[in-house]
Amino acid sequence: MKVNHTYEQPLLWLLILTLAGATSCKKSFYTDVNVNSNAPTPASIVPKVLLSSVEGGIAYTQGGDISRFASINLQQVKGVSRQAQGYYQYTYTSQDFDNAWGNLYADVLENNMLLLQMADAKGYHAYAGIARILQAYTLQIVVDTWGSVPYTNALQGVANLKPAFDNDRVLYDTIGRLLDKGIADLNDPDPGLLKPTDDDVLYGGKAAKWIKFAHAIKGRLFLHQSKGNAAMAASALTEFALSFTSNDDNAQYVFGNTETSGNPWYQFNEQRGDISFSSGNVATIMIGLKDPRLPILIDTTTASKNDGLLYYGVINAPVEFISYDELLFATAEAVLRNGGSIAAAQVFYQQAIHENMSKLGVKDAGITTYIAANGTLPVNANDAIVQIASQEYLALYLNPEAWTVWRRTNSPALTPTTGSNIPRRLLYPQTEYSYNKANVPTSVTLSSPRIFWDN
């Protein structure tokens, strides 16, 4: 056969060479296309974007899942349908706690740890201090809810996917150290090159306020352990004295006005509406006491879709971490546990009610009338603590600390909705049983083991 090779053979070789050339492409020909161009590089991350997400994360989780579990267990509110109805009767499964646990560890503690490490490495002392205080606060919520939990070996990503659990009492010391170091960081004359401003929704970067907040948390730690331990109570008093001096100092996260930045209770009521506030125990007690806070907190007049949550249920409602009135109640209790006089405690007790009411916008006349009726403590210290706690049950409406107060004081007296025990802790989440089986304690129920300070 005859083929004209004059142009065909060169063409063939050209094609083959082109083809061969295509194989010798650089590595970057492949690897460059596999990067996520919608994500910032780690080098471009600055502390403020981490602080924002951490503060929002704590507030949303505390005000969401944790607040719901605590206030339902405590009967401050009543679960009336679907899951909330089940929770109200303590039909919890481990799976119910995956969300809260995941948010606290992965959304909050992990990113705050990254913030802390970055701030330390770059000498951003102001950020380092705030990060330590927020870590301490979050860890305290976790310990008060679940007791012994992972921390020392946690938050290390792939380096340790199955972190061991730390003893809860030891973790309280860890929290204390975090706070001490945080205060020291904030007292450093050099705040560092980058300083928090508006990204700090809690305090706008004001170091003095953060230091007061740190003392408030420390005070909580001591008070929780002060039952029958005057020294702890004394330490709590020392910390409280260094802490908030008015409601302006309150540690709280104020949510936004938009659907994607709204308060968790607002979102829950919009989406679910399974919880009744008007038929909860707080509404019942406040009706009995003719409490002037009732119309501010709960609308009991209409069977509205959101069942009446007012102050804490609006879209931009704050989630309070620690407020001045809580510290005053706590001080009153600490005074008594430290052997102080009823009269001395009563001053703080009355002031606590006053500050709580004025925070909510109750008129002075109403406050005066209420204190006249409810502001006198019984002469016996234990009875006095019971009465303080019963008022805290109202003042700390929807705040998970109320559950802690109740667990320490058993006040007010509550009747379990089913069975014979009101939950004294939450179950470990299913994900820990599934993916960290070797470490997670077994035989955990809603009643035991209790948190170390719950005795």
Partner 1 sequence: MRKFLLLAVSCFLFSVLTKAQTQEVTGKIVDSTGMPLSGASLRVKGIKAGASAGPDGSFRIRLPLGSTVIVSAIGYATQEIKAVSGAPLTITLLNNSRIMNEVVVTAIGIRREKRELGTATQTINADQLSKSGTGNPLSELNGKASGLTVVNSSGDPGSGTYIRLRGVTSITGNNQPLMVVDGVPIDNSINNYDPTSTGNLASGANGNLLGGAQPTNRGVDLNPDDIESVTLLKGPAATALYGIQAASGALIITTKKGGVGQGPVLTFNSSFSVDKVSKLPQRQSLYSQGNNGLYVGPAGDPKTNKFTWGALIDTLYRDGIADAYDPNGQIVGASDPTRKMKAVVYDPYKFFEKGLIYNNNIALSGGNGKSAYRMSLGNLHQTGIVPLTKYDKTTFNINGQSALSDRLSVSGGINFIRGASDKAQQGSNTSGIMLGLLRTPTTFDNSNGLKDPAKNAGSYLLPDGTNSQRDYRGGAGYDNPFWTINRDPFHEDLLRAFGYGQASYRLYDWMTLAFKVGGDVYSQNDKNSYDIGSNVSPAGAVHLSNYYNQQYNSDFTINMKKTFSDDLSGSLLLGQNYFTSNVHTKLAHGSGLVLPDFLDMANATSYTNQEFDSRRRTSAFYGEGHLAWRDMLFLTVTGRRETSSTLPAKNNSFFYPATSLSYEFYKTGGANSNTVLSYGKLRASFAQVGKDAPTQGLNTYYVSAVVNDGFTPGIQFPINGNSGYQLGSAVAVIGNANLKAEKTNSFEFGTDLGFWKNRVTLNATLYYSKSSDVILTVPVAYTSGFAAQLLNAAVITNKGLELTLNTTPVNSRDWRWDVNFNWARNINLVKSLATGVDKLLIAGFANGEVDAVAGQPFGVIFGSAYVRSNPADPNSPLLINDTKKDPGYGMPIVSSQNTPLAKIDPDWTGSVINNLRYKSFSLGVQLDIRHGGHLWNGTRGAMSYFGTSQETANRGQAVTFKGVAGHVDDAGNIAHFDPSGAEVLKPGGPNTVATKYNEYYWQNIGSSFIGPAETAVEGSGFVRIRQASLGYQLPAAVLKNMHLKSLSLTLFANNPALWTKYKGVDPETSLAGPANGQGLDYFNNPGTKSYGIRLGLSL
Q: Within positions 190 to 209, which residues make up the interface with partner 1, using CB under 8 A?
A: 198-199, 201
Min dist. Cβ of residue 32 to partner 1 (A)? 8
Min dist. Cβ of residue 228 to partner 1 (A)? 30
Instruction: With H, G, I as helix, E, B as strand and everything else as coil, classify residue 254.
Output: strand
Is residue 121 a contact residue for partner 1 (CB under 8 A)? no
Is residue 43 a contact residue for partner 1 (CB under 8 A)? no
Nearer CB in complex with partner 1: 37/301: 37
Only one residue has tokens 């006491």, namely: 289
Burial class of 169 by CB neighbour count within 10 A (0 to 12, 13 to 18, 19+): middle
Nearer CB in complex with partner 1: 154/389: 154
Min dist. Cβ of residue 186 to partner 1 (A)? 21
Is residue 360 a contact residue for partner 1 (CB under 8 A)? no
Q: Which residues in the 380-409 window bind partner 1 by CB under 8 A? A: none
Q: Which residues in the 271-310 window bind partner 1 by CB under 8 A? A: 271-273, 276, 303-305, 307
Strands (E), 244-287: 251-254, 275-276
Min dist. Cβ of residue 349 to partner 1 (A)? 35
Nearer CB in complex with partner 1: 307/355: 307
Is residue 113 a contact residue for partner 1 (CB under 8 A)? yes
Rounded Cα–Cα distance for residues 202 and 51 (Å): 10
Q: Which residues in the 125-154 window bind partner 1 by CB under 8 A? A: 149-150, 154
Is residue 1 a contact residue for partner 1 (CB under 8 A)? yes
Is residue 314 a contact residue for partner 1 (CB under 8 A)? no
> Is the distance from CB of 131 to CB of 147 less than 8 angstroms?
no
Nearer CB in complex with partner 1: 298/334: 298
Min dist. Cβ of residue 100 to partner 1 (A)? 7
Min dist. Cβ of residue 69 to partner 1 (A)? 11
> Which residues share a beta bridge with 78?
276
Task: Report the candidate in 292, 304, 282, 313 with the shortest Cα–Cα distance to residue 72.
Answer: 282
Task: Report the candidate in 303, 300, 396 with the shortest Cα–Cα distance to residue 71.
Answer: 396
78, 428, 272, 321: CA torsion to nearest 10: 80
Beta strands 251-254 and 318-322, pairing class: antiparallel
Task: Report the candidate in 211, 217, 218 with the shortest Cα–Cα distance to residue 182.
Answer: 211
Q: Which of 121, 158, 193, 343 binds partner 1 (CB under 8 A)?
A: 158
Rounded Cα–Cα distance for residues 206 and 130 (Å): 10
Nearer CB in complex with partner 1: 83/174: 83
Is residue 257 a contact residue for partner 1 (CB under 8 A)? yes
- C-alpha 118 chain-centroid distance: 23
Is residue 423 a contact residue for partner 1 (CB under 8 A)? no
Min dist. Cβ of residue 164 to partner 1 (A)? 9
Rounded Cα–Cα distance for residues 246 and 438 (Å): 47
> Is the distance from CB of 319 to CB of 253 less than 8 angstroms?
yes
What residues contact 379, with CB distance under 8 A and at least 6 apart?
A: 342
> Which residues share a beta bridge with 254?
318
> Binding string, 426-455, against partner 1, x = CB under 8 A?
---x-xx-xxxx------------------
Of 20-28, 232-240, 289-297, 318-326: span binding partner 1 (CB under 8 A):
20-28
> Is the distance from CB of 112 to CB of 134 less than 8 angstroms?
yes
Q: Which of 79, 147, 163, 375 binds partner 1 (CB under 8 A)?
A: 163
Number of residues counted as binding partner 1 (CB under 8 A): 101
Nearer CB in complex with partner 1: 339/419: 419
Rounded Cα–Cα distance for residues 93 and 72 (Å): 15
